[in-house]
Structure 1
Amino acid sequence: MKMKVLAPFILLGTLLLSSCANIEDKTAEIKPMPDSDYVKTFEELNLGNLFDFEFELENADKRWVRLWVERYQDGEKDREPITELMYGQSPIPDETSKGHVGFGIIQSNESEPSYFLYAPGVSSAPNKSVEKTMSDTSMTTWDYAFPDEKVDLLLNEEKVLAAYRSTSSNQMRTYDLGDKDDVEKMIQEDTEVLLLKIKIKESDEDY
């Protein structure tokens, strides 16, 4: 009889401990900003495409942030990211860093696209790929992984933020970028896929 009475409390305690663990693991929040001033300026200048996010990082003095873009061509992953940015360890103790992070694609009719990344206080120089890029005759589309939604980022978690993709066929499917199996299908079925990713760690040694 005593065990029957105690069982609900044991279950409640387990759930509370699990919830507290998840709160402790949470290290950042990120939200897509498709209508931000950054995006509007990019569009007004007809520069190309910009994925912009509002980003808040806790304990920025103890964290390293890596942003990078993977490219897949006909289902095969490039050996190196087409662009990459890493920053961390703010000089201000216990600082919560707030600002914008994002990925830009500068399009030009006369040359190959250029890619760049940016984050609070840092950015990468526009980088042109020397290999083939998305064909002008291909169908292209771009999506945020979690439109109009703020999400928590956990320490050591690799997260897909957005995708820019093309296909040589006459149709494009819709995929759930939060589902790993769906992302893998997209990579295999589309001609070319660019995936914007983020990961937060306590050290830069593993990068």
Structure 2
Amino acid sequence: MTALTTEEGDILQDLAALGYAVDSLSSLRMSGVNYRDAVPVLLEHLRKVQDTKVKGEVVRALSVPWARPAATPVLIDEFRHAEDATGLGLRWTVGNALEVVWDDAFYDELVELASDTSFGRAREMIVLGLTRSKNAAADAVLVELMDDSDVGGHAVKALAKIAAKRSVSADARPGLERKLADGRAWVRAGARRALAVCA
């Protein structure tokens, strides 16, 4: 077993005080236990942790439905300020967590992150999070994002997911038809599914 860092050890000590005696943050996440009362402790440590690996493990531990809504604004802030040169490390992990804890109370901030091209592919899962939104404008955001070179495929995937539940706006049709020629099979398949129920 990998030796614990001081930071992870401190977090595990605080979790043990709540009754969660685990040997790692990963073990907590995989335990199948609803650890809602541990969310404030995890959020407190997330703000303080310096080690990128440990920070990623805290974020993964917060990637659970019961961390909503408390975790959502903290994770939005983490996404904005994450140190991640590639956009496929910590920031992507935070984006993945935001998909899980999507909360329409923060709709404008989440759409702002999804639409900010400076964040590159780190936005992929936030774009998928739009499928959780009850906001009527979410479809229009996805239509616009279909032409984004970094997250266009995920916008199509999101529209296909929406299509499984209801019809998709007719505004999506031109973009979806263009995606039928995409080089990625999963994008083409998503476009076909969405077009099948396009109004």
Asked if these proteins are the same fold (TM beyond 0.5), I'd say no
Normalising to structure 1: TM-score of the pair? 0.23
Normalising to structure 2: TM-score of the pair? 0.23
Larger strand fraction of residues:
1
Larger Rg: 1
